[in-house]
Amino acid sequence: MEYRPLNALVRQGPLARLAAIAGEARALDDAFQQQLPAAIAGQCHAVRIRDGELVVFADHGVAAARLRMLGDGLLAALAARGFTASRVRVRVAPRVQPPARAKTIAVGAAGVAALQAAAEQVDDAALARALSRMAAHHRR
C-alpha cells in the first residue's frame, strides 16, 4: 500500500464527490449566515437547496418564526451570491447537547468542617457568608 497524502485522496477517487458536496453545503451555509441578523445567526443553518427549495434548520421556534419572516429577502440575497432557490422551508431541529458531566469532586466531612470553621473565624462578612454557603452546599 502506497502512502498518499489525505488531500490527494480527497481530490480524487470516491471521496472527491463527497468532499465537493460538503464544500458546497459549507459555502451555502457561510453565505446564509452572512445574511442573517446577529440575533439569530448562530441559531440556524442552511442545509441544502433541492428542487428550488432552500432547507433551513432552526434551533427553536422563535428563530424559525424569524426566518420565515425574512424568507424572501434571504432568497434574493442568496441568489445574488449564486445560490438560487424559489422558496424556503424552515424546520425546527434543536441541536443535541451532550449530557452534563456528573460532579466528580466531593468535599469530605473534614473539608466541610474546615469551611465552616473558616467562615466563623473570618472578619469579612461577605466572605464568611460565601464560605458558609459553600459548606452547606457540600453537606448535601
Mean pLDDT score, 109-117: 90
pLDDT in tens, 8-17: 666 776 778 8
List of domains in the chain: 6-92 (3.30.300), 109-139 (no CATH)
- Between the two ends of the chain, the Cα-to-Cα distance in Å is 60
Alpha helix (H) residue ranges in the chain:
6-11, 14-35, 61-80, 109-121, 125-139
pLDDT at 18: 84
Query: Would you give the distance in Å from CA 8 to the centre of its chain?
Result: 31
Strand partners, 50: 53
The better pLDDT of the pair 7, 99 is held by 99
Residue 4, pLDDT > 70, answer no
CA dihedral 129, 134, 139, 140 (to 10 degrees): 110
Higher pLDDT, 7 or 61: 61
Cβ atoms < 10 Å from Cβ of 46: 26
32-55 confidence digits (pLDDT tens): 999 999 888 889 999 999 999 999
